[in-house]
Amino acid sequence: MARPRKTSRITPKGTRPQNAPAQQHSASSHGEQSGSWFGWLIVALLGAGTAVIVANYMSWLPGSPTSAWIAVGLGIVLVGILFATRWR
């Protein structure tokens, strides 16, 4: 027969003191939720950055193909990714 393990735990697992407040993990406890327009802004930024990069390679932009237009497109995509990390 197996012996029960000895631990330093005083209270049974899954219990909490009577005075301790219950923790709630909801979006409202961490801040307000993003508006519905915020998701569309992220999609628009990612799409616009991709469109600039594609237009550069298709020579649709003035002076293209140049690395400056790629940097602009990647910058727009990066802003979209940064906004996506702030979306709630």
User: 11 CB contacts (<8 Å, ≥6 apart)?
Assistant: 17
DSSP state of 58: T
pLDDT one-digit tens code per residue, 69-81 = 999 999 999 999 9
pTM for this model (two decimals) = 0.64
pLDDT one-digit tens code per residue, 1-48 = 677 777 777 777 777 767 767 666 555 556 788 898 999 999 999 999
Helix, strand and coil in the chain, % to nearest 5: 50, 0, 50
Read off the tokens for 50. Answer: 């991709």
